[in-house]
Amino acid sequence: MALKYQRPRGTHDFVPEAPKWVDDSARRQYLEDQFRGLCRLYGYGEVRTPIFENTQLITRSVGEETDIVSKEMYTFETKGGDSLTLRPESTAPVLRAYLENSLHTRGGVVKLYYCAQHFRYERPQEGRYRQHEQLGVEALGTDDPALDAEVIQLALAFFRNIGISSLTLKLNSVGSVESRGTYLIALKAYVEPHLAEFSAEGQSRFEKNPLRLLDTKNARELEILAGAPHLSAYLTEEERAHHAAVMGYLTDAGVTYENDPFLVRGFDYYTKTAFEIQSPDLGAQNALGGGGRYNQLVETIGGPPTPGIGFGLGVERALIALQALGVEMPALPTPTAYIITLGDAAKPVGIKLLANLRGSGISAETEYGGRSMKAQMRAADKSKARFAVILGDDEVAAGMVQLKSLHDGWQHKVPVSEVAEWLSGESRRLPDPSPLPSSSAG
């Protein structure tokens, strides 16, 4: 059927029991729950920011010459004439919120986490969408390399907990704006003789923001850049010591990593530590998550000098990897009771009982539409409920229901007024433990 309206390209609907896990709402919720639990364990509190922000906040933070700002933003003018942008990432918005809510005056390290949707006008493909969700953290207020290691370990623990264990952690230090300055002179000197072979975009980056030359996906440019000088040779003593300390903490924690001298990630705000977590179970879009330090970013957006570090993990990519690996997630709880009514007198009694059970905290379902007993029993089986609560004219007249286990043949007549008590965990009269005995109990 050709639908009149379809969702915008590169976006998803999340529905229960979707065949592709990336579209499945319960699996998505499970990952969010796991992440929330882990963040609480590590002492992070949730931050939620608006889905759109002042455009300048994003362009200043992420950087004018980055792919995100130059090609991928959803920017619009409001009726009031302001330029707003759907957030393409959350680091800048979270730092704005940190300042605007005076979290920087609280002292100590402020640790925040988020589960947030982001918007980038990218060419859609498997693992790359125009709307994607990140599970992320930002920790502000210290330059201590032990925090870098904590943040990296939190990201790795998340993947381990959900069942993705074959991962590669890529690590680099991108120095500071100042140390990068010296490196960029060397990088430009290296690239200049080859500049004619670079794309128009590469040539523009050479002029405006040479570090971004390293973000290229152009095969010829990558070939040339393979021989380029490494940023690590231009770090200050202090930056080198920081990087060594991060590696030391990771090694102590038993974390293996690969140093990648060309890992700069697509943002201008990183300083010192930059990292990416990659999976061999994903195709071309193999980055499950990434992050780094941004010790100069709070100042860039008008706050006091405040070091910080964080990461973002891609929910869609995690779901794709989990499905590829065939890692099952815990099944959702099924209803305790399924109410089946037969006849006009039984229906209102059943509907009342349904509300009564739910009011007592017992999950219960029923069939709407007045179908046959057989159809209702089929629906009850499909729901995987533990018990059918059957109400016919005779039962209603006697003020009773037939309680029937859907796991075996056990059944018993119970007064309507006592069904909740029978089904609640406190009841000693129900056959227990599972599997239920097939003989009648009383």
Which residues lie near ligand HAM (CB under 6 A)? 89-91, 120, 122, 127-129, 132, 134, 136, 138, 287-292, 310-312, 314, 316-317
CB of 241 to ligand HAM, least distance (A): 22
Report the C-alpha gap between 243 and 171 in whole angstroms: 9
The three-class DSSP label of residue 289 is: strand
Give the residue with the Cβ less far from ligand HAM, 134 or 173.
134
The separation between CA 438 and the C-alpha centre of its own chain, rounded to angstroms, equals 45
Least separation in angstroms between residue 62's CB and ligand HAM is: 8
Spatial contact of 180 and 174, defined as CB atoms under 8 Å apart: yes
Question: How far apart are the C-alpha atoms of 136 and 132, rounded to whole Å?
Answer: 12
* Cβ at position 138, least distance to ligand HAM in Å: 6
Closer of 128 and 194 to ligand HAM (Cβ): 128
Task: Tell the smallest beta-carbon distance from residue 59 to ligand HAM (Å).
Answer: 15
Nearer to ligand HAM, 91 or 366 (CB): 91
Give yes or no for a cis peptide into 335 (omega within 30° of 0). Answer: no
Minimum gap (Å) between residue 289 Cβ and ligand HAM: 5
- By three-state DSSP, how is residue 379 classified? helix
Which residue is at the shortest CB distance from ligand HAM?
Answer: 314
- CB contact at 8 A, 296 and 304: no
Nearer to ligand HAM, 203 or 323 (CB): 323
Identify the residue whose tokens are 């976006």: 11
* Closer to ligand HAM by Cβ: residue 90 or 179: 90
CB of 218 to ligand HAM, least distance (A): 19
Measured from the Cβ of residue 17, the count of other Cβ atoms closer than 10 Å reads 10
Q: Which letter does DSSP use for residue 258 in this model?
A: E
Q: Residues, the chain, total?
A: 442
Instruction: Pick the closer one to ligand HAM by CB: 94 or 354.
Output: 94
Q: CB of 321 within 8 A of CB of 149?
A: no
